[in-house]
Amino acid sequence: MVVYSLYILNKAAGLIYQRDFNEGLRKLSSNDYLVLSGTFHAVHAIASRISPVPSSSGIEVLETETFRLQCFQTLTGTKFLLISEPRQQGSDAILRRIYELYADYVIKNPFYQIEMPVRCDLFDRHLGAYIKSL
Amino acid sequence: MSKLPTPSRASSDKSSSHPGFAVRSSATSSSLASRRATVYDRNMNRRAPDLALSTFAFLFSEMVQYSQKNVKGVQEMENRLSAYGYHVGQRVLELATVREIKNAKRETRVLGLLQFINTTIWKAIFGKVADALEKSKDQEDEYMIIDNNPVANSYISVPKELSSLDCASFQAGVIEAVMDGCQFPAKITAHSVPTELYPLKTVFLVKLDPLVIEREKYMR
């Protein structure tokens, strides 16, 4: 079980949280991270529109040879993207747990302004502990 | 003549969809609700079922945001949070005394009272006892109540620019009210002392009024 990194996008496609969990991943420039998240947001929106199935949820999983990207969209439009190794199982459950942590340590934090970048020590700490425990 | 009442009735129908009218109708329904059982009708000895921590967390989060408005500094904000806690403490002391009526006694010594806060009061509000109670080595009038995981701080990450702020000041206010209510005037401040294991660890420093120290000497 290797989880590479986590992205959290707000409903306006802004990247509010990005964290790599493994050493040795090539760092992108901060602008590239924004481009990446913006592109995914757009593709996700298009996918949900052009889907033959009515009320499609858009892209949920993207599988490639080198990684697997799982997307979890909350009812409020926040997206959680988890990038893991290709044969990762149960990414969906991991994302739900991360959503719980987000709801606890970010949303309930009085110093967090909604839709703004996440800077909460407790969230970092608990997220790190959870990913390590996998 | 007979046609006259009709338009007036129609206009009253229209006004019923008006928000102003809706407010009045909700006012009447709330007066109906007040006739139902109130908190005063309930048995005082029965403990209410525990409240979800999330409910408290959201309410407290709003309280912290509210107390942040128009404050000049961290000190003032802590004072405000402490003032909220003071209101809680006053009521909790009363209720805890009633509920503990079987083995209730009036605490006359500082240590007894602090033990009472450490266990009974803490359990009544937070469902657990505080982690430690210590006496300051160098100051005769200072005690410390230590909580490794204060409930008020459970979900709060204080930003770096406010690093000296401890939202558990709310709990300090509770202690202050209980001590005041028992005639042990004291000043209580909350200090966060993060450790690797307990990042939220808070020390409540109890500084007793000189009057209390003097009384304590007579009782020895």
What local confidence, expressed as pLDDT, does residue B22 receive? 39
pLDDT at B206 over 90: yes
Which region among A67-71, B44-48, B140-144, B152-156 has the lowest average model confidence (pLDDT)? B44-48
B69 DSSP assignment:
T
* CA distance to partner chain B, nearest, from residue A58 (Å): 31
Residue B58 and residue A104: Cβ atoms within 8 Å?
no
Nearest C-alpha neighbor of A94 from the set B203, B80, A102: A102
Contact indicator for B162, A111 with CB cutoff of 8 Å: yes
Placement of tokens 């046609």 in the chain? B3
Question: Mean pLDDT: which of A22-31, A100-109, B42-51 is highest?
Answer: A100-109
What is the separation, in whole angstroms, between the first and last Cα of chain A? 7
pLDDT at B71 over 80: yes
Q: CA B209, B210, B214, B216: dihedral to nearest 10 degrees?
A: 30
Which one-letter amino acid corresponds to residue B64?
V
Contact indicator for A6, A21 with CB cutoff of 8 Å: yes
Q: Which residues of chain B have a CB within 8 Å of the CB of A125? A: 199
* CA distance to partner chain A, nearest, from residue B197 (Å): 11
Percent of chain B with pLDDT over 70: 82
Q: Which residues of chain A have a CB within 8 Å of the CB of B167? A: 110
Mutate to test the interface with B, among A102, A111, A112, A116 (most CBs of B within 10 A): A111
Contact indicator for B169, B156 with CB cutoff of 8 Å: no
Which region among A19-33, A102-116, B192-206 has the lowest average model confidence (pLDDT)? A19-33
What local confidence, expressed as pLDDT, does residue B35 receive? 66
User: Which ranges in chain B belong to alpha helices (H)?
Assistant: 5-16, 19-35, 53-67, 74-99, 110-116, 122-126, 169-181, 210-219
Which domains, from first to last, does chain A contain?
3-133 (3.30.450.70)
pLDDT band at B27 (very low <50, low <70, confident <90, very high): very low
Identify which of B58, B65, B199 has the shortest CB distance to residue A125.
B199
Q: What is the ipTM metric for this complex?
A: 0.84
What local confidence, expressed as pLDDT, does residue B11 receive? 42
Nearest C-alpha neighbor of A109 from the set A120, A96, A101, A99: A120
Q: How does pLDDT run across A54-65, given as a tens digit for each residue?
A: 888 889 999 999
The dihedral built from the CA positions of residue A122, A123, A126 and A132, taken in this order, carries a sign that is negative
Statement: B51-219 belongs to CATH 3.10.50.40:
no
Nearest C-alpha neighbor of B147 from the set B192, B85, B80, B90: B192
Q: How does pLDDT run across B91-131, given as a tens digit for each residue?
A: 999 888 888 767 667 888 899 999 999 988 998 888 889 99
* CA distance to partner chain B, nearest, from residue A110 (Å): 5
Residue A108 and residue B57: Cβ atoms within 8 Å?
yes
Query: Cβ contacts of residue A119 below 8 Å, gap of 6+?
Result: A112, B157, B159
Placement of tokens 């979900």 in the chain? B155
Q: How far apart are CA B172 and CA A43, in angstroms?
A: 51
Contact indicator for B144, B207 with CB cutoff of 8 Å: no
Residue A108 and residue B155: Cβ atoms within 8 Å?
yes
Measured CA to CA in angstroms, residue A13 lies from A17, A33, A39, B210, B214 at distances of 12, 11, 9, 60, 65
Residue A111 and residue B58: Cβ atoms within 8 Å?
no
> Between chain A and chain B, how many beta carbons pairs sit less than 8 Å apart?
40
Q: CA-based diameter of chain A, in Å?
A: 43
pLDDT band at B31 (very low <50, low <70, confident <90, very high): low
Q: Which residues of chain B have a CB within 8 Å of the CB of A127? A: none
DSSP string, chain A: --EEEEEEE-TTS-EEEEEE-STTPPPPPHHHHHHHHHHHHHHHHHHHHH-SSTT-----EEE-SS-EEEEEE-TTS-EEEEEE-TT---HHHHHHHHHHHHIIIIIT-TTPPTTSPP--HHHHHHHHHHHHH-
When pLDDT is averaged across residues B157-181 and rounded to a whole number, the result is 92
Return the higher-pLDDT residue of A130 and B25: A130
What local confidence, expressed as pLDDT, does residue B37 receive? 79
Question: Mean pLDDT: which of A100-104, B19-23, B106-110 is highest?
Answer: A100-104
What local confidence, expressed as pLDDT, does residue B12 receive? 42
Q: Which residues of chain A have a CB within 8 Å of the CB of B60? A: 110
* CA distance to partner chain B, nearest, from residue A47 (Å): 35
Nearest C-alpha neighbor of A72 from the set A85, A63, A60: A60
Q: How does pLDDT run across A62-93, given as a tens digit for each residue?
A: 999 999 999 999 999 999 999 999 888 888 99
What local confidence, expressed as pLDDT, does residue B32 receive? 54
When pLDDT is averaged across residues B182-195 and rounded to a whole number, the result is 93
Chain A residue at shortest CA distance from B199 = A122
Q: Which residues of chain A have a CB within 8 Å of the CB of B64? A: 110-111
Mutate to test the interface with B, among A108, A118, A126 (most CBs of B within 10 A): A108
Identify which of A110, A120, A123 has the shortest CB distance to residue B65.
A110
Mutate to test the interface with A, among B81, B157, B200 (most CBs of A within 10 A): B157
Percent of chain A with pLDDT over 90: 63
